Structure 1
Amino acid sequence: MTDRHGPVSASARSAVTAGPTAAVRPRNRKQLIVEAAGRVFSERGYHAASMEKIAAGVGITAAALYRHFPNKYALFAECADLMADRLVDALGEVPSGAPLAEVLTAVTRVTVAHRASGGVYRWEARYLNREDRRHLRAKFGHVVGRVDEAVQREYPLPDERLRAAAALGAIGSIAMHHTSIAQRRAEELLSASALRVAATDPAAARNTRAVELPAQPVPRTRRAEILAAAIPLFARDGFASVTNGQIAEAVGLAPSALYRHYQGKIDILAAACLQAAGLLAQGVEQSLHQVPGPRDAIIALAATYVAYSFEYTALNSVAEAELAGLPADMRRSLVLAQREHIAVWEQQLRLARPELDPRQARVLVHAGFGVAVEAGRGLRWQDSHGHRTAVTALVVGALGL
């Protein structure tokens, strides 16, 4: 080999060949892998994510990925840990006794900056082993505790961290949707929403009218019995972990008999998601009947969503957590139903708050959903009129009404 100045030695040839490869190989490759994995897990869920897809996000082969992580579970646990550690570290930089707004801003900044991978925590309860789950919950417990200290200092109420968890739910909601909005604007909207949640007295709405939801269909056929038996199994263990044998055993059938009623387990999941969407749509239709104005409409929507979340906790959990795992053709109609539901909220919220543009309204609607989920979890989904009205008040607070 020669160049225009003459012959090139073997050692020089080696340097020329190896140089570009060495230059582009980043020292922080493990961190890049975790970042890419967080995005894939958030988008697809634990079981639908593949090591090949994660490796492609970093520009390496799956074989190279295994040099850093022995299996997908180890990578998933690392992602979940990283999310919690970022929040703990951010709050560690906030002085003790700092104003609540400063505490919430620190959490919001980290959450929005890592929005694409923040959805990992949605899956952790199901797929982490007991020890990893315990460690992770301790970290999140520390975060809730720091927020609660600031909440109680500025707005003291005996609500056992309910407002702190709900405020964090408003902030964390940004990881659960794809609404395009500038990072700074998202931070401002979510910090303000969380601050309103923290300032809301959950006991102030005790006289809220009870919501009457459509009844979940009584299983009168074998097909309906199979669906009713599968939903709590999916909610408890996750769709991928439940076997046809478990579902069949729950209804007293042989596993092969399931195929007379459903082509496969995925069809049972699709039926569950369709049932969830149908019940919520019926509830919304009932709640908005003869509502006098947009503010009342938003309160009615919030009360309906909260009632639905408490009454159909297992069904809602399955529909929210497992939707991403459905094939595209099965998912399409469900995604459209979700968009229609959010559009109703968005329209009424913009009528009640004309200063909001569509994207801002959509972000706040999702913040309300996040409040309902985290406040419900904080109350262990123990259903009562008092719990429903308390959570409804927090959701309305998040929306700024």
Structure 2
Amino acid sequence: MTDPHGPVPASARPAVSVDPTTATRPRNRRQLIVEAAGRVFSERGYHRASMEEIAACVGITAAALYRHFPNKYALFAECADVMADRLVAALDDVPAGAPPADLLAAVTRVTVAHRSSGGVYRWEARYLKPEDRRRLAVKFGRLVGRVDEAVQRESPLPDDRLRAVAALGAVGSITMHHTSIAQRRAEELLLASALDVAATDPATAPGAARPVRLPAQPVPRTRRAEILAAAIPLFARDGFASVTNGQIAEAVGLAPSALYRHYPGKVDILAAACLQAAGLLAQGVEQTLQGVSGPREAVVALAATYVAYSFEHTELNSVAEAELAGLPAELRRPLVLAQREHIAVWEQQLRLVRPDLDPRQARVLVHAGFGVAVEAGRRLRWRDGGDRRDAVTALVVGALGL
């Protein structure tokens, strides 16, 4: 879940005015371009980002930018590669046989240092071409393998790399929100969270106070609801920008022009999907927290609810997470408020259990829990089952330091 708190994104701030005819060309200009592009892609998404915007962030013209990269896709692919290469290089510098703490500390330093540009791969990697996606997967596979080797050496469990993936998810979560926190404190929090995840036995579920019962996704009984239900899996599979009105209309047996009788535009369908996601999660939290006796039970119940929601509504959740930034401000506003309310519930209960945390620290750990749920769920390919939900819930609770 993307945190709405934080400073104005770099891409929204005016660039420093630079006269390209008089400015001294820095030797690391290509690196500066990749850094700026990573920030813009992370904040705005691949399709909404423009070469002109990226060039302005570097203080050069778009024509100068094209001298370094032939098109936006080439720049995007390099951004994804650069972050993976940084992480792999950081682990290569750690001696063989080092404990998990040393490996995860190296990963955490790199991730926090490049927080604003490091989130490109989380959702936007689906826009990479298959060969580029495979190459990136190999690099991250090396990263996971090295961490898993150390984790298994310290506490062997037959978890099929689940703890290693989840620990890296806790660290990577810092790239997905804007909570303002000092770099060193962020590193300390995330490293502790990742180590707690690595030390958690996924087979030891924390045990929620009562079974999680989420509201079902509404059965489409109107044409408007049918359009929404058809669009969600298309958005999840191909990304909002890649899906056409024609594809949505075809899925419900309508002419493309007929969609406008139900939604003013495609972006309104996306907004409806995000609102549905927020509503289902809020209802699930409300039901699950009824009758919970204390803050620790409440935190465990929140973790179990979020995991259950992620497994039951995987496509809907992925659309809401990945595409929120692409909504116009007026459509995004109610969703941002819903997110803030959801995170505030977690934050309040977590701080009752852990009074050592201030609000920002608690918020960072809550997002670490979300990161664990996403990456562990992906590792399990979102194949549902009580034992899988319990395993992921145990790892999320571990990320919170309980």
TM-score class normalised by the smaller sequence: over 0.9
Counterparts of 2:23 and 2:257, CA distance in 1: 57
Instruction: Please tell me the residue identity of whatever aligns with 1:72.
Output: K
Shift of 1:23: 6.3
8 Å Cα contact 1:124-1:133 kept in structure 2: no
Q: C-alpha distance in 2, partners of 1:124/1:277?
A: 21
Q: In proportion to residue count, which structure has more helix?
A: 1
Gaps of 5+ in 2: 1-19
Contact 1:80/1:120, CA 8 A, preserved across alignment: yes
Give distance in 2, aligned partners of 1:278 and 1:117. 30
Aligned-partner SS, 2:219: coil
> What aligned pairs does 1:157-196 form with structure 2 within 5 A after superposition?
157-196=157-196
C-alpha displacement of 1:210: 3.1
Partner SS state of residue 204, structure 1: coil
The 8 Å contact of residues 104 and 191 in structure 1, kept in 2 or not, is answered as yes
The within-5 A match list for 1:14-53 is 24-53=24-53
Q: Identify the residue that residue 212 of structure 1 maps to in structure 2.
A: 213
> Distance between the aligned counterparts of 1:206 and 1:245, measured in 2?
47
SS in 2 for 1:147: helix
Aligned to 2:263: 262
Unmatched segments (≥5 aa) in structure 1: 1-19
- Segment of structure 1 superposing worse, 83-92 or 61-70: 61-70
- Quick one: which amino acid aligns to residue 40 of structure 2? V
Distance 1:63 1:293 in 2: 60
TM-score calculated relative to the size of structure 2: 0.94
User: Deviation per CA, 1:90-134, whole angstroms, max 9, x where unpaired?
Assistant: 000000100110010000000000000011012343100000000
In structure 2, what is the equivalent of residue 200 of structure 1?
200
1:116 aligns with 2:111: no
Q: For residues 199 and 83 of structure 2, what CA distance do their matches in structure 1 show?
A: 26
Cα offsets for 1:149-203 (capped at 9, x unmatched): 0110011100100000000000000000001111010000000000000000010
8 A contact 2:169–2:374 mirrored in 1: yes
Post-superposition Cα deviations, 1:62-85, rounded to whole Å, max 9, x if no partner, equal 111111101100000000000000
Change (3 A) 1:331 1:23: closer
Within 5 Å, which residues of 2 pair with 1:322-341?
Answer: 322-341=323-342
How far the C-alpha of 1:207 sits from its partner, in A, is 5.7
The code of the aligned residue for 2:104 comes to: L
RMSD value, Cα: 1.1
Q: Give 1 or 2 for the bigger CA radius of gyration.
A: 1
Match of 1:282 in 2: 283
TM-score (ref. length: structure 1): 0.94
5 Å-filtered alignment, 1:240-319, equals 240-319=241-320
2:58 and 2:67 mapped to 1: Cα distance? 14
Q: Is the 8 A contact 2:144 2:164 kept in 1?
A: yes
Identity %: 85
* Corresponding residue number in structure 1 for 2:348: 347
Q: Is the 8 A contact 2:206 2:394 kept in 1?
A: no
- Quote the residue 1:12 is aligned against: none
Contact 1:46 1:123 in 2 (8 A): no
What is the SS of the residue equivalent to 2:68? coil
